[in-house]
Amino acid sequence: MNRIRLLVLVATGVVCAQAISAAEKPNIIVIMADDLGYGDVSCYGATALETPHIDQLAAEGLRFTSGYCSASTCTPTRYSLLTGTYAFRGKRTGIAPPNAPAIIKPGTTTIASLLQDAGYATAVIGKWHLGLGDDGGPDWNGELKPGPLEIGFDTCFLLPTTNDRVPQVYVHDHRVPNLDPADPLWVGRKKPSPDHPTGVSHRKTLKMDWSHGHNSTIHNGISRIGYYTGGHAARFRDEDLADKWVEQSVAFIEQHKSRPFFLFFSSHDIHVPRMPHERFQGKTSLGFRGDAIVELDWCVGELMKTLDRLQLADNTLVVFCSDNGPVLDDGYKDGALEKNGDHRAAGPYRGGKYSVFEGGTRTPLITRWKGRIEPGESDAMVCTIDLAASCAALVGRRLPDDACLDSFNVLDALLGKPGAPGRSHLVQQDNGSTGTYALRVGDWKLHRHDRRFARNVVVEQDLKNVPVSRFSLFNLARDPGERTNVIAANPQVAERLKRQLAQIIDAGRSRP
């Protein structure tokens, strides 16, 4: 009897220890790459370049083979990561234009607000691309609010849009730093004057030529989407972006080393225009796209070195992910196509950015928490949309019923607990609420195209609109490249998934 009682006490002690452990409030760093494909880093099979720091992160942590973002473009993925809600449920969640107002409204529950309420210092550093300002859009020369600080971040240092869109200035908290009142910043959709230099009128002056679309205002020898004038003292040099993100992130970590912190490190690498710092140019055989991957890897290394130097690595959960799959020619002639060789940016998967094929949303995803996560590999299905619910569970915060509507607590899977299943299903989308979806349930994946045509970009290098069937069905276990539509041979499976996808969309939520 005494022995049984002792075993019960020991078992109870283990449970209590696990609960206490979960409430320790580790630091949390989410590193999000931009347009990085499943096959773009060496720990996921790349051989044309080496990514030693990302590889080390994987060797010391858990490498997921079914890690996803929820959308195949940047704005909707970022929206869903922060809000825990599929972007197709929101308004204006497609790729945001330069003057977009704040897409996530003040008071919205986000991963940042949940952690802030739990006592964390919170920061987002890097690419934002979720709009700034009220419904009138950003006041570039005044207070840029609402923005990150109104949805749970204590501080931010941002690239306000995305660097192929204007303006090329930073945003620190609510203002553009270094603005000269005598040289106000103007951002607009129309050419400000007939003689305004553009990528069309001054194409011969460009240091990186455009291939499609990116031919409006010129800055730093590169033409962009949109128009702007002024703000010259506040403008940055493309080559310096990565250094600035690391500098600001290291400073934030150092300032908050004695209390729990959440850092969303939102890299712009490897999004176009790919213009890595000079010290990385020419480091790979893949042109500036490969060089930008090496620059991203350096950023990861600098953050990890900072954790080691401050003795924070054992108390920091690091999540490495990407906002969507790869694209080679995305508007600039930077050698990505010509120098790609045998490199498979999406690994074994079809498609990439802009598509709901696996290459568009299945990306590298790594978790590391030294001493807590057993190094290895996991095939559990997890998604960046789940970080809100999972981090809330980690720090003991309860989700409001009307928030994080599609975020599942997959904390056990992220931490590598034996037998943890991850999520049972995932809706994938292309951009905003455009009517292109995919639903993965187990090995089955259903595509639903509410439009007749789909943009089939990247790995196959086809920039034309191609006709698609409204519904397609693939078995990922047998056909990971989604080459063979088996809907005719599996009508019952197809009908079940059609109903499930429609129910998830119509219900307004998928979290119970």
Kindly tell me if the per-residue pLDDT of 434 is higher than 80: no
Tell me which residue of 335, 294, 97, 326 sits closest to 209, measured CA to CA. Answer: 335
- What pLDDT is recorded for position 142? 97
Kindly tell me if the per-residue pLDDT of 148 is higher than 60: yes
What's the whole-number mean pLDDT along residues 453-461?
46
Angle between helices 387-394 and 74-83 (to 10 degrees): 30
- What pLDDT is recorded for position 5? 34
Q: Contact, 364 vs 321, CB < 8 A?
A: yes
pLDDT tens readout for residues 277-333? 999 999 999 999 999 999 999 999 999 999 999 999 999 999 999 999 999 999 999
Q: What's this model's pTM, rounded to 2 decimal places?
A: 0.94
Paired strand residues for 265: 31, 125
Q: Rounded distance, CA 283 to CA 292, Å?
A: 9
What's the whole-number mean pLDDT along residues 91-104?
95
Angle between helices 287-309 and 241-255 (to 10 degrees): 10
Mind giving me the DSSP string for 383-414? EGGGHHHHHHHHTTPPPPTTS-TT----HHHH
Residue 439 — φ and ψ, nearest 5°?
-125, 120
Kindly tell me if the per-residue pLDDT of 361 is higher than 80: yes
- What pLDDT is recorded for position 465? 56
Residue type, 199: G
Q: Which pLDDT band, with edges at 50, 70 and 90, does 6 fall under?
A: very low
Q: Which residues contact 365 (CB under 8 A, 6 or more apart)?
A: 63, 64, 67, 68, 319, 320, 321, 322, 382, 384
Q: Rounded distance, CA 304 to CA 297, Å?
A: 11
Q: What are the C-alpha distances in Å from 242 to residues 37, 131, 329, 460, 479?
A: 19, 21, 21, 29, 38
3-state secondary structure at position 148: helix
CATH, range 425-507: 3.30.1120.10
- What pLDDT is recorded for position 459? 40
Mind giving me the DSSP string for 231-284? -GGGB--GGGHHHHHHHHHHHHHHHTTTS-EEEEEE--TTSSS----TTTTTSS
pLDDT tens readout for residues 116-139? 999 999 999 999 999 999 999 999
Q: Which pLDDT band, with edges at 50, 70 and 90, does 50 fall under?
A: very high
What's the whole-number mean pLDDT along residues 41-46?
98
pLDDT tens readout for residues 236-270? 999 999 999 999 999 999 999 999 999 999 999 99
Residue 238 — φ and ψ, nearest 5°?
-50, -40
Q: Rounded distance, CA 324 to CA 38, Å?
A: 9
Q: Rounded distance, CA 406 to CA 86, Å?
A: 6
Residue 16 — φ and ψ, nearest 5°?
-60, -40
Q: Which pLDDT band, with edges at 50, 70 and 90, does 15 fall under?
A: very low
3-state secondary structure at position 5: helix
- Is the domain spanning 24-414 CATH 3.40.720.10? The answer is yes
- Round the average pLDDT of the chain to a whole number and report it: 93
Residue 478 — φ and ψ, nearest 5°?
-90, -25
Domain spans of the chain? 24-414, 425-507
What's the whole-number mean pLDDT along residues 155-172?
98
- What pLDDT is recorded for position 455? 52
- Work out the percent of the chain whose per-residue pLDDT is above 90: 90
pLDDT tens readout for residues 185-219? 999 999 999 999 999 999 999 999 999 999 999 99
Kindly tell me if the per-residue pLDDT of 62 is higher than 60: yes
Kindly tell me if the per-residue pLDDT of 338 is higher than 70: yes
Q: Which pLDDT band, with edges at 50, 70 and 90, does 466 fall under?
A: low
Q: 440-451 burial, b if ≥16 CB within 10 A, otherwise e? A: bbeebbbbbbee
Kindly tell me if the per-residue pLDDT of 460 is higher than 70: no
- What pLDDT is recorded for position 1? 35
The secondary structure of residue 314, as a DSSP letter, is G
